[in-house]
Structures are given as C-alpha cells and as structure tokens.
Chains A and B, each alone.
Chain A
Amino acid sequence: MADETTDYAIKLDIFEGPLDLLLYLIKKNEIDIYNIPVALITEQYLQYLKIIKSLNLDLAGEYLVMASTLILIKSKMLLPVPDEPSAEENDEDPRAELVRQLLEYQTFKEAATALEARPLLERDVFARSAPIDDKVEKSTEDEDELIEVNVFELIEAFHRLVSRIDKKELLEIDLEKMSLTDIINDVMERLTREKNLTFEELLGERIDRRRIIYTFLAVLELIKMKMVKAYQTSAFGVIRIFPAVES
C-alpha cells in the first residue's frame, strides 16, 4: 500500500468528483461494475479521502456524501436477506442506483472525450474570418468591443502609476528640460508608429514624476484636440491609446 501513496498524490487533482474517483477505483481493481465489492471499494475510497485531507486540499462536500452513500450500501448489504421469495431481487440490490449513476457518468465522460477529439475550430481548423474569438487583442478595428474611457479613469491610471514610483527617485533633481509640446509630438509620433499604446508603454523606461505628469497632460491635451482616443477592454482594464485619425 505504501508505494501507492505517490500514485494517489498524482491522481488527486485529476478527479472530477466522487463518481470519477469511484470509476477510477473500479478500473484500477478491475472490478465488474455490475458487481461491485462494496466493502473493498468503500475502504479504498475512504483512504483517498484521508489523503486528500492530509494534503489539506479542499474536500468538496460531494465526496463526503458519496462516502456516506457507500457506507449505507455496505451496511445494507450486510443485513441478512429475508427468506421470503420476493420476485424482484434485482431491484433490491442496494448497489443498483449507484451503478446506474456510475454508468451514466461514464457515458458522458466518454462523450466529453469524443467531443474533445473532434477537429475544433480555432484549434485544429480555422475559418476565413474568425468570429469565434471574442477576446480583444491589440486590434484597432474592433472598436465596438472597447469601452471608451473617461477622464476619471485616466486619472486613476495616472494615480496608480505615480504611487508606484520609488520615493527616492522623487528627490532627484531632473535637469532635463521638458516641454509639453515636445511630449505631445513624441506621443503622436510613437502612436502613429505603434498604432496603439498603453499609458505605461508611452512612458517607457523613464518613469519619474515629471515625465508622468507631462505625458498625462499630453494625452489629455491630445484627447481634447481629438487627436487620440483612449479605450479599455473592460472596466479597470488596461487603458490603450489609439490615434484618432487612423484609417
């Protein structure tokens, strides 16, 4: 048993639930699913639960429900079978419901594998235009999917950046002369070249307070002049700045 613990550990996160774990045990022990030795399976099942607990993994409630079901079936099977010649013995097998559940689950598990094996769009096959992909990448065309940001969100992004600068750096005296016009020109030049940039990207390596403020002002100015547009893909998402007159 001892050397199997490693085996357990590997398998743990693969289980999709108690039924999956039971199916695994049945397969591992090469058991006939229609004639499950409940005592053996229950014992092994509980062992797994112990290991899951010892690993401090979250034990889903469903696993415990299954454990109690197994114990219930086990105890039912221990009860002496009444001698009366009741006709439908099959229906009285306490395992019947569990077996049905297991078989049904197994069927869909296989169906899931079969589905996954199909040639999937955007994985194995590709269509000419892919309307399937909903996520917005660095595209400039899908502006519908982008949310236009307002000034407050820009300010917030600005705040985040400023609060990130190293305090020490703030004490340095920057002798570099900077003019808003220069920065505006710089921003526009880079935007036409790169198509779209985030505020962070606009700043580049030179993160100091003056630079941030000037760049921020430049962006605000450009938005005001309708030279650029600022968008984000979702609320609190990264803000991207696009040249307004692109195409």
Chain B
Amino acid sequence: MENFKAVIEALILASEAPLALEKICVILENVEKAEVKKAIEQLIVEYNERQSGICLAEVAGGFQFRTRSELSPWVKKLKGTKSASLSPAALETLAIVAYRQPIVKAEIEDIRGVDVSAPLRGLLDKKLVRIVGRKDVPGKPIIYGTTKKFLEVFNLKDLSELPTLRELKEISEQKEPELVTEPELIEDCSNT
C-alpha cells in the first residue's frame, strides 16, 4: 500500500473515539506496526507545521483529531457549551483517585480530611471515576479508579502521563519512609 498515511488520517478522522494504534494495524493488514507509528508521527508533525486549526493528539490510548486549545474561544461560540468545570472538591477528589487508584472512599477522606460522598458521586455521574471492585476487607468497601473518559477529558495518553507527585516523593524520602508503602490493594481489580 503506497499512501497508507492518508488512510490512517482518514481512519482517525472517521473514528468516534480515540483510535488505537493496534486497531489501525488490524485495518491496514499488511503494514508494519512501526511504519504505522512512523506515519502517525509524521502526521502529527505535519499538522503542527502548517499551523493548522486542528492537531492530532494521542489520548486515552489512541489518536484523535482535536482543535487547538488557543482556538477554544471560537469553538465555544459555535458549540455554545458552558464548560461544566469541576469544583475544587471534585478536582481534589479526582486527583487523589487518579494518583492513588485503586482506592476506597475512606482513604480519599483520610487525605482530604472531609467527607467526599458528594464530589465522588459527581465524578461517577460524569463518568470520570468508576467502581473497579470491592476491597477484600471487612465491610467490603467499594474501590474506585479513573475511567478512559478521564484520560480523554484531561488529554492524557495513559495514567503514566500524569505529572509526578514531586513533593510527595521528597517527603517520603526525607521524613516518613513508611509512606512509600502502598496500602494493600487487590490486584485483579485494577483491570476490570
């Protein structure tokens, strides 16, 4: 196939959700994965170079065309969306879930020092957080984790792209070494 780069471009545009590299490979059949990847990288550069209104972003384990953030005032005018921004309480709760997942509600409350029922419910409603299982301790508390939509909304390739918690590391190094030990977690829940 000669111009598979154009095919990739078309596939990404036509896809509703971020399109995974693997899926592109399945469709293209005879093209090496490395070549597909290279073509995507070229596309990304091309869109950047010609100062286009859209860019090819790698989010939530796939690729998606998105408008450039500088252009949001115009796009907002078109869509008339009132960006439903998250409250500080919701954002803090979400940050804790994102970094500490899988996590139970009591652990989030320990960190925030306040009840998190309301923000947690809001995050579940917004599908940014989901229930991933139940912890095998008395009371079987619900374990929470972030969703794929969380990655999409926050423009993240995957969870590893979350900025590192710089300060927490510093603390654990100098002050409380036992802080490094993670709470006991159920392994098999993380991927359900």
Contact = CB atoms under 8 A, between A and B. Distances in A.
Contact of B155 (A112, A121, A128): A121
Interface stretch (B23-31, B171-179, B184-192): B171-179
Contacts of B126: 134
A103 B166 CA distance: 12
Contacts of B67: 125-127
B105 interface: no
A182 to B, nearest CB: 35
Contact of A108 (B86, B92, B154): B92
Interface size class of A (residues with CB under 8 A): 35 or more
Interface string A213-226: 00000000000000
Interface string A68-109: 000000000000000000000000000010011101111111
Interface in B52-76: 57, 64-69, 72, 75
Interface of A: 14, 16-20, 34, 60, 62, 66, 96, 99-101, 103-116, 118-134
20 contacts: A17-B114, A19-B114, A62-B113, A101-B110, A103-B171, A105-B112, A106-B167, A107-B168, A108-B92, A108-B99, A108-B165, A109-B92, A111-B99, A112-B95, A118-B154, A120-B83, A121-B66, A125-B69, A127-B67, A134-B127
Interface of B: 13, 16-17, 57, 64-69, 72, 75, 79, 81, 83-86, 88-89, 91-92, 94-96, 98-99, 110-115, 126-127, 149, 152-156, 162-163, 165, 167-168, 171, 175-176, 179
